[in-house]
Structure 1
Amino acid sequence: MLPSTTMNILKIHGCYRPQPKVSQYSHNSRLCNASSASILSHPQFPISKTDSKLKRIRVSEIGAPLWTWKDDEEENTRSSDDLTMNGDVYQKTLRLVECSMFAALGGLTYILSSSLAIENYFGCFFALPIVFSSMRWDIVAGRKTMVATATLLLVLAGPIKAITYLLMHGFLGLAMGSLWRSKASWGVSVLVSALVRAAGAMCYVVMYSFLIRENILALLLLNCSFFVFLLHLLYALFFTRLGMKASLRLPKWFAKAI
């Protein structure tokens, strides 16, 4: 009873004024407002130098584009020029096709002649595709024709036929084509081709001597020289009829005869 009575007396005389209670919710809201204001006024993450540099980038500092319509037009023009008859792509493709056709023709002719036992009658034509490729294009084309023919024979007839073709006809055709392409005289061409033919025939005889285990090395340089001379006459007449006389270096007596 005493405390309540004391409070009533103080209220009557005006000595006591009740204080409003401060709620916990208002206190927390003040703290949140203060913290947000401090964060906005003083940011904790300063702007780096790279960000400031990015802001100062100008459009004029950007490099040129990697592709333009002009480059596309130039590329299309270049590709169309390459596909013309005098273009590099067309000429390389034509050379590859002709070398493949000559290789297939020479390989199939050699296989058929060997199978029908008429190789001795058509032996003078086996080196013709290689010589023609060398005269038509260059020495590299002749070498590719020889390699392609030997590869075809290796697949279809085995290694013995392929090696025999290279020794007896392949290297001879490549030598003649190279000498005629460089417009060497017939004296040099006949002598070098005869030596190549003799070396190939000797290797051929040695190979078959090893296979049958019997010495059959009875080969003369005169026989090879006569065979090569006949090839020169036959191939020169063939190329002359094809209109390639300007690419040949013929002897005077043979040029007058034809």
Structure 2
Amino acid sequence: MIPLKTYQHSSTFLSSISKANPLHISLQPHTLSPPFPSSFLLTLKPSLSLSSNLRRVSEFGVPLCSSEQNEQQQQQDNRGVSPQLHDLSPNGAVYQKTLQLVECSMFAALTGLVYFLSNSLAIENYFSCFFSLPIVITSMRWGVDAGRKTLVATTILLLVLSGPVKALTYLLKHGIVGYTMGTLWRLGASWNLSIFLCTIVRSLGAVGFVLISSFLIRENILALITINIHASLTFVLTASGVNSIPSMNMIYTLFGILVLLNSGCFMFLLHLLYSVFLTRMGMKSSLRLPRWLEKAI
């Protein structure tokens, strides 16, 4: 009786499962034996839904991991894109730029110190011919850009050490002249063109210096100069027996001619001096000298 009841209960349970489950389960009473056989467990396959859920979870997890890896890789790329290797040899660009900057700084410091001491000791007239030389040297060695750097650095240094008046004086009388000469020599201009343009620049700088000095001392120095020239010329004409008084336009013209002659003679001597210096420094091949001077050197 007990096995029969067990069989009836098991068959009732299996029939209820077969009605609820769409899977067709063939029940054969003579093959089943309690407890549930292994064939019944295989036909049910309860792991389908679990495997599908696991597949969904795994598919959802893959892009998360890949996105994190991509973000990390992008951060590494943005943080340190493979560092560029620079050529640090003496012939490399980095070494040459560093050397250029060092030479410009040293020349600017030397020029500013010499100009400051010469003004303090009142010996500026003895060293005035050398104040433009560092700018010419840097322009010839490293290019026009290096000469401009030396000019700006020297002017700023003098502005800090001596004030705006001395800085403007150096800029008008020596700095712009040296930069013009270095640029023309770097471009291979002839001596005639170089002396002519440098003479005009020097003359304009001298007139600008006179105007700045007149503004600072509240006195028209240019008018005093022209008046003295007019008085001297009138005296010379009267002493020679010429009864005529020169006009002011003639005085201004004479004043401009004198300034140009003074500046021209100074620039010619400066060209000779700088040519000798640069030749002794081994830069003769970079210079365009006249034939008579090239033969003499």
TM-score interval (norm. to shorter): 0.7 to 0.9
Amino acid at match of 1:115: S
Deviations 1:168-199 (A, max 9, x none): 00000000000000010000000000111111
Distance in 2, Cα, partners of 1:249 & 1:41: 95
C-alpha distance in 2 between matches for 1:50 and 1:132? 76
Determine the C-alpha separation between the residues in 2 that align with 1:130 and 1:177: 7
- Paired with 1:165 and 1:102, the residues of 2 have a C-alpha distance of 15
Q: AA paired with 2:276?
A: L
Counterpart of 2:25 in structure 1 is none
Paired position in structure 2 for 1:230: 269
2:284 aligned residue: 245
Whole-Å separation in 2 of the counterparts to 1:148 and 1:47: 73
User: CA separation of 1:204/1:56 partners in 2, compared to 1, >3 Å: closer, same or farther?
Assistant: closer
Question: Which residue type is aligned with residue 212 of structure 2?
Answer: M
Q: Structure 1's 55 and 179: CA in aligned 2 closer, same or farther, altered over 3 A? A: closer
Aligned partner of 1:101 among 103, 106, 111: 106
**Partner Cα separation in structure 2 for residue 139 and residue 49 of structure 1:** 71
1:16 aligned partner: none
Classify 1:166/1:50 alpha carbon distance in 2 versus 1 (closer, same or farther; 3 Å): farther
Measure, in 1, the Cα distance between the counterparts of 2:83 and 2:48. Answer: 60
Percent identity of paired positions between Structure 1 and Structure 2: 57
Shift of 1:214: 2.2
The SS at the match of 1:243 is coil
Corresponding residue number in structure 1 for 2:155:
150
Q: Any gaps of 5 or more consecutive residues in structure 1?
A: 1-39
* C-alpha distance in 2 between matches for 1:249 and 1:49: 84
Q: Which residue identity is paired with 1:251?
A: P
Distance 1:56 1:132, change over 3 A: closer
Mapped partners of 1:109, 1:151: distance in 2: 15
TM-fit CA distance, 1:252 = 0.8
Q: 1:55 to 1:106 in 2, by over 3 A?
A: closer
- Label 1:128 to 1:49 Cα distance change in 2 as closer, same or farther (>3 A): farther
Distance 2:208 2:63 in 1: 81
Measured after TM superposition, the shift of residue 238 of structure 1 is: 0.6
CA deviation vs aligned residue, 1:75-96 (integer Å, no higher than 9, x gap): 58x33xx211011111111100
Match of 1:7 in 2: none
Structure 2 residue aligned with 1:126: 131
The alpha-carbon deviation at position 41 of structure 1 amounts to 9.5
SS at match of 1:95: helix
Residue deviations 1:51-107 (CA, integer Å, cap 9, x gap): 6365599x9xx98x7789xx99x958x33xx21101111111110000000000000
Aligned to 2:120: 115
Question: Who is 1:87 aligned against?
Answer: 92
Q: Which residue of 2 aligns with 1:186?
A: 191
Matched with 1:52 is 59
Q: 2:264 is matched by which residue type in structure 1?
A: S
TM-score by length of 2: 0.63
Task: Specify the alignment match of 2:178 in structure 1.
Answer: 173
Secondary structure (helix, strand or coil) at the match of 1:84 reads coil
Amino acid in structure 2 at the alignment position of 1:226: C
Tell me the equivalent position of 2:231.
none
- Give the match's secondary structure for 2:118: helix
CA drift at 1:216: 2.2
Q: Unmatched 5+ residue regions in structure 2?
A: 1-46, 226-254
SS for the counterpart of 1:250 is coil
Alpha-carbon separation, structure 2, partners of 1:256 and 1:115: 41
**Structure 1 pair 50–234 and aligned structure 2 pair: CA distance change class (3 A):** farther
Q: Secondary structure at the match of 1:203?
A: helix
Paired residue for 1:29? none
Shift of 1:151: 0.6
Q: What letter is aligned with 2:265?
A: F
Distance 1:183 1:160 in 2: 34
